[in-house]
Amino acid sequence: MAAYSHIALPILILIFFSLFTFSQSQKPCGISVYWGQNVNEGTLRDSCNSSSYKYVNIAFLSTFGSGRIPVLNLAGHCDPLSGTCTGLSSEIEFCQNQGIQVMLSLGGSIGNYALSSPEDAKEVANYLWNTFLGGTDPGYVRPLGPTPLSGVDDFDIEVPGTFLYWDDLARALSSYSTRRERSTYLWPQSYDYTSGVSMVLAVWRWWNSRIDIPASSQIFLGLPASPSAGGGYIPSDVVVNQILPVIRSSPNYGGVMLWNKYWDQGYSSAIYSAVCNGTDAERRPEELFISQVGIIGKKFCCCCLKQEGTYQQDSNDVCGFQDNSFLHTNPPTCTGLWLALEEATISNGCLWAIPGSHKEGFCSNWNKSWLLGCHSRGFDSSEDEKKGGA
């Protein structure tokens, strides 16, 4: 993928208009990744199921414009011409239901594309709207199935002599959005033409100094996910310790973009907690639990069932304990909820609690010795009954 410094285009070439909206006080932050250029990278659902990405860019629509018949190149994942890519519709929907935006990337280093005029740009925009986005014109075949993509992520224009009218295409695409707020994401590549921390930071400062970038836009740091993914590879520990602490304070900072899913063999996991400055404001509850206890890779839902009659006042079947002994995280970001699925009484095993105990702090943590018995502070049910069990 060529360097953006080789492309003398208006900033609008990188516009992404979203079918979703976000308040400007709560800008999303996360990792974006390209998917679709290696059949061995796993499915789209796998990418969204990894809990690593907030944006997935389907790459590439490699042929279009100037009367060309558009071609979607997904490198063996499926064949759009034979209709085998329509199955991606359910995977796109799955990703979007996880809060992940799935977008279409245009261009690429190997392609046949160009825009011949502003009118041609409008025709391409109409094609994109009705083929991949929210359009409903029955005259267009939707190669990815009926689920609309979240937007068009960028124009990865790398073929020489094709640098005109992309701003017209961006404006034409933007005109289709009826939302009051549009999200504009920019992910310039900090690789192939850069080497070292100082150069990456210099490129970052240049992008953030441009006065033609809207204040609401977000800029992502573009990185190769492995030495084989592109020139200028930077080890994850260097990114975490020397680059992200500098760029996170930028007003337009949005996160990190990785090329690509196939080469991401743990790179995103290594930088994940540092991308958004260690904050969890944009992460789903199951991601919080996974990251804090160190379980990586799968969605996780923890459900503890207390069966009827397991507590008896004259036995020690279930001793007193704190939920935090099992749900402990540092910082304390995990919340446990006990919900009665049917009427709960003392006779059938209701949940008891010591009033005010939530103010007494963390008493003990779970460890393997608990397998030999309960080790917690005393729990006097008779005393609690006098105070009022819950």
Task: Flag whether the pTM goes above 0.85.
Answer: no
pLDDT, tens only, 7-26: 323 222 333 333 333 333 34
Rounded to whole angstroms, the Cα distance separating 106 from 129 reads 13
Checking if the pLDDT of 351 tops 90, the result is no
pLDDT tens digits, one per residue of 196-237: 899 899 989 988 888 677 777 899 999 999 999 988 899 999
Catalytic residue among 41, 91, 123, 158: 158
Biggest alpha carbon–alpha carbon distance for the chain: 85
Among the listed ranges 88-102, 169-183, 330-344, which one has the minimum average pLDDT value? 330-344
Supply the mean pLDDT for the chain.
76
Terminal CA-CA length for the chain? 62
pLDDT of residue 101: 95
Q: What is the pLDDT of residue 284?
A: 45
Residues for the chain: how many in total?
390
Strands (E), the chain: 30-35, 55-64, 71-72, 101-108, 112-113, 151-157, 185-186, 218-224, 253-259
CATH 3.20.20.80 domain extents, the chain: 4-293
For 326, the token pair is 């099992």
Nearest by Cα to 31 from 326, 264, 291, 319: 264
Q: Which residue has the higher pLDDT, 298 or 247?
A: 247
Q: What is the pLDDT of residues 164-198, one digit of tens each?
A: 898 899 889 988 876 544 667 888 877 766 668 99
Residue 259 has pLDDT above 90, yes or no: yes
> What CATH number matches the domain at 4-293, 3.30.2010.10, 3.20.20.80, 3.90.79.10, 3.30.465.10?
3.20.20.80
Residue pointed to by tokens 């099992």: 326
What is the pLDDT at residue 302? 52
Nearest to 124 by CA among 68, 82, 163: 68
State both tokens at 174. 């933007």
Cβ neighbors of 329 (< 8 A, separation 6 or more) are 288, 289, 292, 293
41 is an active site residue: no
Mean pLDDT of 321-339: 67
Residues 140-157: tens digit of each pLDDT: 999 999 999 999 875 766
In angstroms, rounded to a whole number, what is the distance separating the alpha carbons of residues 68 and 246? 44
The model's pLDDT over 114-144, given as tens digits with 9 standing for 90+, comes to 999 999 999 999 999 999 999 999 999 999 9
Residue 390 near residue 353, CB atoms below 8 Å: yes
If one counts every other C-beta atom within 10 angstroms of the C-beta of residue 240, the result is 16
Residues 86/302, Cβ–Cβ less than 8 Å: no
Of all residues in the chain, the percent with pLDDT exceeding 70 is: 64
pLDDT (average), residues 299-303? 45
